[in-house]
Structure 1
């Protein structure tokens, strides 16, 4: 009939039992039951005594393959009991995103307090301005690439906030060491940016390599996290170095202090 058919074969004992059954039920349907459900019911056309036969019908390649897989798989070794069933709706996703947004705000507030307490209102405030600029650049880059800010993306954004401040901490601590060593404010600032730059680039380079590996080999939420993190690494280096340097240079030129406020 030029249609797919399914071949089967029994062992010796099965061939005898199957032959007796088919001989006594010619013209009747033969139900194939798996886990209490009839998965096929072909009609017995003749006695099958040789231990092998075929199942014919209106099969397609897909339906025949599915039946073969069911026959080969056999029964489950243990019954499946449903202990709990839940329906996940869009409202749960919205709640998760709102929780992520709240976590971002809390993280930003914590960073702001830490920077102000550690380096004063001037240097801490400048790092917060650079941090805000970093967030704007991340959102702009994601909009340009058509990326969606999912919950894993928010996690990458929060991690980027900490990494951006880490660069400022390296720069400021180097400035503080240079200022405490007796160097002028201009020399201390220049040394702070130049000597901390190697460490900043090295740390962020390893991070972006890890993010690229996750993006290449990951899928779904992992790629969203990796993409946001990659954008954040690039923008954080830009804002922590360039934006902070421009703002501090403007303040230095305007006030011409004899001592940096962060020097102990």
Structure 2
């Protein structure tokens, strides 16, 4: 039946739950309280809080998500980003959900946590829950979906069965042309240009230890790792946001970056 959804309360009443890319948790409330935010009972115009019910509901939801060991009494603000993401998902499925919309729900999860999340989503699908999964990770979309819809510039392009979709086909629909016309094979350059940025034996707290690397002019250096591996902390050190030991050089000149203003003056952005 056609419905109008003027605000989130109406969508919740219709059984629609959303997990946004940006977390919508209350950091000062406990894990149990956050999960149960959408299940507070109302009577005579008043909202009644039953913390015993909160704990029972949260324990069941976290067990379903493989997070049974998480302390229900701990404030959410003290959790890791990955744990907060799972609490957000738990909050979404704590109600009588009929339609579950997820926007990049595993952006902070490890592969093992993502695999478990997908197992939970498949169980929900088997139980009759309709799921809309939004992601730029095409391999995950292919493995999880029954049907895939591609949007480009805010407009519908195509809806296809997952079994007939491939990564190349999805990319072509997303950008409007075939993949082989986008990136033509080129040999790697053998010319050694000037070293624009160099890190020598950089360490910070207990997470970063003796890191060294060089970036030449006209070169792209990628940094990869799981959540919590130190990628963000490395960037913060290189931009004067985090104390470090070791050395940083910009165009061959040693610099000491203790605040962002210094990094900007040396041409970092």
Same-fold status (TM-score > 0.5)? no
TM-score by length of 1: 0.22
Structure number with bigger Rg = 1
Q: Which of the two has greater strand per residue? A: 2
TM-score by length of 2: 0.22
Q: Which one has more relative contact order, counting CA pairs under 8 Å at least 6 apart?
A: 1
